[in-house]
Amino acid sequence: MGLVVKDVSKSFPSEHGIKPVLQDITFESKDNEFVCVLGHSGCGKSTLLNMIAGFASPDDGLMTVNGEQINGPDQERGVVFQEHALFPWYTVLENIALGPTFQGKPKEESQQIAKKYLALVNLEDAADQYPSQLSGGMKQRVGIARALANEPKILLMDEPFGALDILTRETMRKELLNIWMHLRTMVVFVTHSIAEAVHLADRILVMKQGKIASNIEVHLDRPRDAKHPQFLSLVDELSSILIEEKARA
């Protein structure tokens, strides 16, 4: 079943009348799939992700998870934000325990769950620190653990590593991949890095000016080698799709 997005359109009001941001977006993704949404800045990636999260609703079209229509935010769709959006007044452990607590689990159990996911992202030592005391990479790991602690069906990530330096970014990508291989939750991952998408995805949705320009399945074994010929040819293919757009724009 998984996630089904069908003929979804969205526009925003602007000074020059109504501005279409997404047009006829259609794709499906299976339960254990890692989906990357790849595209230039402003092509509507966040808008799409926010609608899947339930923060906004489409003007037109249908969005369902396991056959059920998306209607507002829900714990079955966990979100990792680019700006991490951790609660500054809660410690790392409290942040992660929040989801289970909201679900009405007793304090003990929530803490137990939180500790498990804290270990998954290798941050046991920071359990009692506040977000302001963490580095960018650590914050992002807490954000991932917090979303996972709810055991969501879908993990939505909007450029989660966008604010990190290249080295940290690479480490985080590897860690995310390890976690995903372990949990096999469906992930929808927004990025504008071609290499990141090819490293991570089972399916790459290339977006151009509010439309899906291509929907590519990737069948390379993980972990992927950036020097592998198939890897390189896929990178070439993707960049030619994206650059072609630039030339026209």
Partner 1 sequence: MTVGTNEKLSLKNSMTSHFFTTERKDSLSRMMTIAGFFALWQIIGMINAHFEWFNPTFLPTPVDVLGAALHLHDQGVLFTHIWSSTWRLGVGFILGVVIAVVLDFLIAKVKLVQNALEPLINIIGPIPPFALLPIFIIWMGVGELSKLTLITYATAIPMIAYTVDGIRNVNPLLVRSALSLGANQWQVFKSVILPSALPPIFVGMRVTLAISFSAMVVAEMIGAFSGLGYLIIDSRNFFQMDNMFLAAALIGVLYSIFALILSFIEKRLFKWRQGTQMNDAISK
Point out which span in 20-28, 67-75, 109-117, 232-240 binds partner 1 (CB under 8 A). 67-75
Strand-pair category, 34-39 with 186-191: parallel
Q: Residue 236: which of partner 1, Mg ion, ligand ATP, none does it interact with, CB under 5 to 8 A by kind?
A: none
Selected binder of partner 1 within 9, 57, 64, 75 (CB under 8 A): 75
Tokens of 93: 């452990």
The DSSP element (H or E) to which 73 belongs, if any, is none
Residues in touch with ligand ATP (CB under 6 A): 12, 21, 39, 41-47, 192
79 binds partner 1 (CB under 8 A): yes
Selected binder of partner 1 within 57, 130, 170, 192 (CB under 8 A): 130
83 binds partner 1 (CB under 8 A): yes
Residue number, 21 or 134, with CB nearest to ligand ATP: 21
Q: Residue 41: which of ligand ATP, partner 1, Mg ion, none does it interact with, CB under 5 to 8 A by kind?
A: ligand ATP
- Whole-number Cα distances in Å, 90 to 29, 86, 131: 35, 8, 8
Give the span between the Cα atoms of 235 and 138, in whole angstroms.
Answer: 29
Tokens of 16: 């020059």
Point out which span in 70-78, 111-119, 194-202, 212-220 binds partner 1 (CB under 8 A). 70-78
Selected binder of partner 1 within 53, 63, 148, 197 (CB under 8 A): 53
102 binds partner 1 (CB under 8 A): yes
Residues paired with 180 in a beta bridge: none
Classify the C-alpha dihedral 208-210-214-218 as positive or negative. Answer: positive
CA 192 to chain centre: 12
Whether 192 contacts 160, CB under 8 Å = no
Comparing C-alpha atoms, which of 172, 166, 226 is closest to residue 199? Answer: 226
Residue number, 45 or 153, with CB nearest to ligand ATP: 45
Task: Kindly state the smallest distance separating residue 158's Cβ from Mg ion, in Å.
Answer: 6
Whether 205 contacts 215, CB under 8 Å = yes
Q: Residue 138: which of partner 1, ligand ATP, Mg ion, none does it interact with, CB under 5 to 8 A by kind?
A: partner 1
